[in-house]
Every structure is written in C-alpha cells, then in structure tokens.
C-alpha cells in the first residue's frame, strides 16, 4: 500500500522565497500539472514562461486586507482536504465544483529571521503567516491524497522523485513530507509563542531546535546520541576528528569557564572540571602555569584560552597529548604545529552569548533555571574578619571563586598568584574536597603557603577553615550564610586569617 503511486494533476504554489522554484515548476509543467498561484509567486512563474492560473480565478475572490487573506477559502481548502476514497466527500466536491489539489508548495513568512533583525513589533506581526501555515497543515493532514512541500530545502529531493517516477509519488513519500511539514509548522508556532511569552510569562516549557547532528555515541559506546543546535554559531572547526558527546560537554564547560576572564588566561579541563588554570600577561607563561597544577590529568584534556595562540605557545602545548584546543584565533605557524596530530580537534571560538535559560531532563519531565551569571567582583565582597586581604590576595580570591563556580559540588579551589594550585571537586563532603585538593598540591610539590581557598558553598562547621590554616592557607572566600559563620570568623581572627563572603552560592551538580 505504501508504494501505491498517485499522479499529481494540480498544484498550488505560494512561496515567500523563490530560490530554486523555477526548476520545480518546469518539472511540474513537463508532466502537465495545472498550477495555481498567488501574487508574487504567480508573477515569478508567469515570467518563467510556465502556464499558471491565479488563485482568484479559482475562488472568484480577490486578495484582501493587504494580502492578509488570499488562500483562506473553501474551494482551496476543500480541494486539499477532501478524501478521494470517501464517496460522501467526493459527492460534495462535485456538488460545489471544488477542483482537487494534489500538491501544495508553500513556505512561511520569515518570522524567526525578522525577529533576529530586531524589527519593530508591527513588522514582526506581519511576518506571522496564517494562510501558509494553514495550507501546510491541511495538505499534511491529507497525506493519503496530497503531497506537501513546506521548505525550499526539499526541492532537490522532490525534483528527483518526480523525475524518476514521472510526476507520481508514493504514500510513504507523501507521509514523509507530511512529517517534515508538521516539524516546520510546530517549530514556527513555538518561535512565535516564545516571542509573545517574553512578556506574558506563561509557565510552560517549549523548545524547538531544527538543526541536528548525529554523534558517534553518547557518554558511552552503547548509548545513542544527537546534538541539537548549530555549533557553527559558537566555533569554527579547523582540524581534527568528529566531535564526540563527551567532547561537547567539555567544550561547553571550557567556554563557560573562560568567559569569566578578561585577562590572558589558559584553562585545562577534564570531565567538565578545571584541572589547570592560570592568568598571566604572557600567554605562553599562562599555559605553563596552568599545566603545573596537574600535568597528569591534563593528558587527553580540553584546552582553552582567550588569546591568540602564537608559534611559541603552540610549541609548548604540542608537548602533551590533548583532545581539543579552543582559542579566539591561531597564528598560521602555530596552526601548522598543532595540526601535526590528525585527530586533534582545533576550534576557533566565535563571539558568542550563552542562552540565559538552562534545562535538563529529570524523572518524567524537565527542570529549567536561569543561567548562573553571578560571580561577584570586589564591589560585592563582605569582609568578615578583622584581617582584611591585601590587593594581591583579593585578586587570587576572585580568581579562585571563578574556578570554584565552574567545578562540580562539593568543590574547593586552592590558588596562588592567579594560578590554580589544586582543587577537590564532586565530593560528598566539603572536608573531603579540601583534603583531596591539599593532597593533590602535595603530590605535585606545589606550596600552599600564603595560598587562598574558595568554596562553592558555606562552611557548616569550622573544620574546613582549620584544615586550610594548617596547610598554609591564609585567606578564604565563600558564600557565607551558615548559622555557624561566626565560628569560622572567630577561628580566622584568632589565627590572623582573612575571610570574605560573596553572598552567592555556586552549587553545580
């Protein structure tokens, strides 16, 4: 049944964008298809020297209200929607002299594109398609008898089908194009709703992303995965193998992290956590310092910087194995060095703004939240202790706080001279996170004397402050808010330590 073919005898064509249309109408004309059309599309087809009839000749009704109503007529929708296999429908079709329409080629007014141009609301409202989307839905609903083409991206495919099958289509093909049509119409309506909901705040979850990339697999080889979105808006891939699911997670974490820094900075990430990070006026020196924190974990990691990578820097980076490197640009000779490994992924990051909403699936639904865009600069700091941190310590504390914000909870970051010394991340206990960081610093012979500590959440007890002091740390930054904050403050005052609070927690799960 799915291979039974129907011949196209009559087509209705009304499109906003005429690109690629000429080849289709010539093909339809070749097979003797009668074409009805509207306005500018009618003129385009007529100028292509193809026989075409106006919609008005069918409906005996003009286009009205500045073109707002052209195709909304029973003879149009009846010709699309009547069921050829239903005798009552056929009798009514004949009674009211409604011609059968076997094919509909319609695209939609460019609402989404107009929205991106920051058009005024009147212009935007006029780009909400009414007739077009109704025609698409009607033709898609009656896919048993009617073929719908809802995007110029489908022209190549349908031209091939018409050529190979002499102007006929199968049920399976019509159903495929119907599914494509409902995809287009639902996406269109979603974007319109999201525009109106900017002010109305109707509490529903609606997302529609048309572009999809099939990935080799998910987090593990037995899991299927896709990426929905347009990565070309974020970066240009210059070299390397196909980007994997896990690569994308690390790339996302890396770009989020580096966006916190204005000064020249390098970061190395592994499993979404920074295992190295440093800021320095010399970008090559920033790389060397970032690598010192944990050269073992850096193996196979994702590297990111907010400055152009030059030849000297590339020579240093090329000494280790890594999966991905991201930078705003690469000098030509640096790129030649980094491309020496054929699988190494090299990405040139573009200017990019993250969406302000984040969501993830849980249980049988979705949770959505605002993006954590707060870090807390010097103007928001609350100096809790008698001893105030000096200017250098404040720089280190803010540096550490940026890192802990992007580390899995429970998280502790130890830093000195704008360099990550060590971190403990993803621990069930904040004490364990701190001990892990201290042990890691010791394992790479990094001194914690005069280092600073950042915590993603408050200290419920004084234990972490005491452990940090005993390890050589003399300044702490934390959100504050514990009922026992004063215990930690008292310990700091007694031991000549500085502590500041941001008032902002940074849990990350």
Q: 225: which 2 tokens? A: 């995965």
Residue 378: its pLDDT value, please? 61
Q: Ramachandran region of residue 279, left (φ > 0), alpha (ψ -120 to 50) or beta?
A: beta
Q: What is the pLDDT of residues 6-37, one digit of tens each?
A: 999 999 999 988 999 999 999 999 999 999 99
DSSP 51-89: --EEHHHHHS---BTTTTBSS-SHHHHHHHHS-TT-HHH
Residue 222 is among the residues annotated as catalytic for this protein: no
Residue 39: its pLDDT value, please? 85
Cα–Cα distance between 445 and 354 in angstroms, integer?
Answer: 38
Which of the following is catalytic: 18, 34, 73, 141? 141
Cα–Cα distance between 104 and 464 in angstroms, integer?
Answer: 69
For the residues 139-150, what does the mean pLDDT come to? 97
Instruction: From 466, 471, 468, select the one nearest 484 (Cα to Cα).
Output: 466
The model's pTM is 0.88
Residue 376 has pLDDT above 60, yes or no: no
Q: What is the pLDDT of residues 202-241, one digit of tens each?
A: 999 999 998 999 999 999 999 999 999 999 999 999 999 9
**Does residue 410 have a cis bond before it (omega within 30 degrees)?**
yes
Residue 402 is among the residues annotated as catalytic for this protein: no
Which of the following is catalytic: 271, 288, 311, 435? 271
Residue 2: its pLDDT value, please? 60
For the residues 387-410, what does the mean pLDDT come to? 95
* Choice among 65-69, 216-220, 362-366, 395-399 with the minimum mean pLDDT: 65-69
Residue 348: its pLDDT value, please? 98
Cα–Cα distance between 63 and 453 in angstroms, integer?
Answer: 71
* Beta-strand relationship, 265-270 and 235-239: unpaired
Q: 399: which 2 tokens? A: 């540096």
Q: What is the pLDDT of residues 84-137, one digit of tens each?
A: 999 999 999 999 999 999 999 999 989 999 998 988 898 899 999 999 999 999
Residue 60 has pLDDT above 90, yes or no: no
Cα–Cα distance between 454 and 181 in angstroms, integer?
Answer: 52
Residue 63 has pLDDT above 80, yes or no: no
């Amino acid at each position: 049944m799915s291979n039974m073919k129907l011949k196209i005898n009559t087509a209705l064509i009304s499109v906003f964008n005429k690109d690629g249309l000429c080849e289709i109408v010539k093909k339809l004309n070749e097979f003797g298809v009668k074409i009805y059309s509207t306005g500018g599309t009618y003129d385009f087809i007529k100028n292509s020297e193809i026989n075409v009839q106006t919609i008005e000749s069918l409906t005996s009704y003009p286009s009205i209200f500045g073109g707002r109503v052209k195709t909304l007529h029973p003879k149009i929708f009846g010709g699309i929607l009547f069921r050829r296999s239903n005798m009552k429908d056929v009798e009514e079709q004949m009674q009211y002299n409604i011609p059968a329409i076997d094919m509909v080629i319609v695209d939609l007014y460019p609402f989404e594109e107009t929205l991106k141009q920051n058009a005024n609301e009147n212009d935007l409202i006029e780009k909400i398609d009414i007739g077009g989307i109704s025609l698409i839905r009607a033709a898609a609903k009656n896919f048993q008898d009617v073929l719908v083409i809802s995007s110029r991206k489908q022209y190549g495919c349908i031209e091939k089908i018409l050529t190979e099958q002499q102007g006929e289509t199968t049920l399976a093909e019509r159903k495929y194009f119907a599914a494509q049509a409902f995809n287009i119409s639902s996406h269109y309506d979603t974007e319109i709703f999201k525009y109106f909901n900017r002010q109305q705040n109707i509490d529903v979850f609606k997302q529609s992303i048309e572009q999809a990339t099939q990935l080799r697999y998910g987090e593990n080889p037995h899991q299927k995965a896709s990426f929905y979105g347009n990565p070309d808006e974020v970066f240009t891939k210059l070299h390397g193998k196909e980007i994997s699911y896990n690569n994308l997670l690390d790339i996302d974490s890396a770009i989020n992290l580096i966006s916190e820094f204005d000064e020249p900075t390098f970061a190395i990430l592994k499993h979404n956590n920074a295992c190295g990070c440093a800021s320095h006026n010399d970008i090559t020196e920033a790389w060397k310092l970032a690598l010192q924190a944990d050269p073992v974990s850096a193996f196979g990691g994702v590297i990111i910087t907010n400055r152009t990578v030059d030849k000297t820097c590339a020579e240093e980076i090329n000494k280790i194995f890594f999966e991905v490197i991201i930078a705003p640009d690469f000098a030509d000779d640096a790129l030649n060095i980094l491309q020496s490994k054929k699988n190494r992924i090299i990405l040139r990051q573009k200017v990019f703004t993250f969406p302000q909403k984040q969501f993830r699936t849980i249980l049988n639904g979705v949770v959505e939240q605002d993006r954590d865009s707060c870090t807390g600069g010097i103007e928001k700091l609350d100096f809790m202790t008698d001893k105030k941190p000096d200017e250098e310590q404040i720089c280190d504390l803010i540096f550490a706080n940026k890192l802990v914000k992007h580390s899995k909870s429970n998280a502790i970051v130890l830093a000195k001279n704008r360099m990550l010394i060590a971190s403990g991340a993803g621990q069930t206990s904040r004490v364990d996170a701190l001990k892990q960081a201290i042990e890691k610093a010791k394992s790479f012979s990094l001194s914690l004397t005069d280092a600073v500590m950042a915590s993603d959440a408050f200290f419920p007890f004084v234990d972490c402050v005491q452990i940090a002091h005993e390890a050589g740390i003399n300044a702490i930054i934390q959100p504050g808010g514990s009922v026992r904050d004063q215990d930690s403050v008292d310990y700091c005052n007694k031991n000549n330590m500085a502590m500041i609070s941001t008032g902002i927690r940074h849990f990350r799960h």
